[in-house]
Amino acid sequence: MSSLRTLVFFATPAHDCSYLPDREATTMFVDPRANIDKKLYSQLTSLGFRRSGSHYYRPHCEACNACIPVRLNVNSFRPDRSQRRVMKKNSDLECVLVPAAFSERYYQLYANYVELRHKDGDMYPPSREQFTSFLVEGATDSLFLEIHEHGELVALAAVDALEDGLSAIYTVFDPALEHRSLGTFAVLWQIQEARRRKLPYLYLGYWIKQCQKMNYKTRFKPIEALQDGQWRVLEAP
């Protein structure tokens, strides 16, 4: 079994940044041959790594530190008025956690979401192979949160269970239901699930101050950021 002391890391060549224009990025990956169990995955996450399929990575840019890992202390979180409205308007939805696996209905929801909302992103155009490699392969205690409206799947959130919390991997939803704020609802549900499991944290990936698409993360307060090797409450941006 691999450990932090035995892991080997690789860095990619510089490539165009997916989030900030006119910048180059370098990504550090854990050796894909490493045997990553739940304990090691949890340790990597606390050090700012994320999982994408079978790959564990974090930004490793020489001239930029814009990508900041963030997490929420679920026991300190108190929803604001807007978040309480989201919970109320979605109180009719049914939510269930299931093991992460491929399903055609999952893929159709994912493909529709990517087609309509992320044509400018790395996931376009969507494919079944891409869905599987991104959200199913390499799963370590990984779950899908199914969100149903009157029995119909309207949102799907990929969630990993860690030793000290949950990791919110990715959420897709029916773009026709944008008024429901299903992305925010999925995060709020995962906060409640972490509390139910008596886990202190919900890891929300990276936050970039200059990236408007990531602004929603700082609306969950008090959000913590990993800076200079320490997790601290992020000051109001």
pLDDT score of 117: 84
Q: pTM of the entire structure?
A: 0.95
pLDDT at position 56, please? Answer: 97
| Pairing between β-strand 201-207 and β-strand 165-173 as defined by DSSP bridges | parallel
Q: How far from 177 is each of 34, 89, 107, 189, 236, CA to CA, in Å?
A: 41, 12, 18, 17, 30
Q: Any idea what DSSP says for residue 216?
A: G
Give me the pLDDT at residue 199, please.
98
Could you report the per-residue pLDDT of 173-196, keeping only the tens digit for each? 999 999 999 999 999 999 999 999
What architecture does CATH give domain 71-233? 3-Layer(aba) Sandwich (3.40)
What are the extents of the domains in the chain? 9-65, 71-233
Ranges of the chain with pLDDT below 70? 1, 120-121, 139, 236-237
- Residue 22: its pLDDT value, please? 86
